[in-house]
Amino acid sequence: MTVLIARSLVAGYGPRLVLREVDLELRPGDVTALVGPNGAGKSTLLRALAGLIRPAHGEVTLDGIHVGTLTRAALARRIAVVPQVFDTLFPFSVREIVGLGRTARLGLFARPSPADGEAVERALDAEGLQPLADRRVDSLSGGERQRAVLAMALAQEADVLLLDEPTTHLDPAHQRGLLHRLAELARDRGVIGVAVLHDLNLAALADRVVVLADGRIVTDGPPVKALTPSVVADVFGDGLTVLSVPGDPDRLAVLPR
């Protein structure tokens, strides 16, 4: 049973601290949406959870082990990250990019095993990328490239999937599709899914919403409990209105006022 925990986490870049005292416990089977205004610390929290930045105070532990003490390869076998930046000038094929997800499982001299190949094909299937598998990534649209990078992270077959604004370049159908696939992974394979999202309507599809502002967690709970009209007004200003969906008390919609 995987548990990823941040305790009294204070972190940032050099002297500039972005996160102030964040406590968060992530358990398998849940998809968590991280929302908040620009500069709230969403990406910083994701980086700290991934062990990419060292906490100034507090700690991040994976099953009780400090993520900072694990090697990069050991960490990559447990935690996969979908990056925000995925531009390249080099003509890698989509299948080669997805194959990078297996890097941590290959020794310096080892060749990819059949199991590695199968994991890559599964990831390509999951993102519907088989028709594009031999295309050069530098010739794809932004959305197609974003799906290739998602498939790369899926091929890591990690227990934790951290996604930094994974829907920026996706059309509405693919945005919802991504959240559904995340929910499936969480439910069927016990994956911990955490996604930084800007669209509160997408966030409302998650199991749990964590609202960040000024480096602190404002609320944390199921969407209807976390995204209340007063929280949304406090954090995002009064330009938004939160509507309940008639006949479905677990759903909500956020619209511009």
Burial 198-230 (b: 16+ CB within 10 A, else e): ebbbbbbbbbbbbbbbebebbbbeebbebbbee
Q: What is the dihedral of CA 65, 52, 24, 165, to 10 degrees?
A: -140
Give the amino acid at 201.
N
CB of 139 to other proteins, least distance (A): 9
Site string for other proteins, 88-127 (x = CB under 8 A): xxxxxx--xx--xx-xxxx-xx------------------
Residues shown for the chain: 257
d(CA 105, CA 231): 43
65 forms part of the interface with other proteins (CB under 8 A) = no
Handedness of CA 35, 234, 214, 226 (dihedral sign): negative
The CB-of-103 to other proteins minimum distance in angstroms stands at 5
Residue 173 engages other proteins in binding (rule: CB under 8 A):
no
Q: Which of 59, 61, 121, 128 is nearest to 95 (CA)?
A: 121
Furthest C-alpha separation in the chain: 59
Q: In whole angstroms, how close is the CB of 193 to other proteins at the nearest point?
A: 15
Q: Report the residue from 50, 133, 163, 254 that binds other proteins according to the rule CB under 8 A.
A: 50
Residue 86 as a binder of other proteins (CB under 8 A): the answer is yes
Residue type, 20: R
Q: How far is the CB of 71 from other proteins (least distance, A)?
A: 7
Site string for other proteins, 28-47 (x = CB under 8 A): -------------------x
The residues that touch other proteins, with contacts defined as CB under 8 A, are 47, 50, 52, 71-73, 75-77, 79-81, 83, 85-93, 96-97, 100-101, 103-106, 108-109, 149, 152, 156
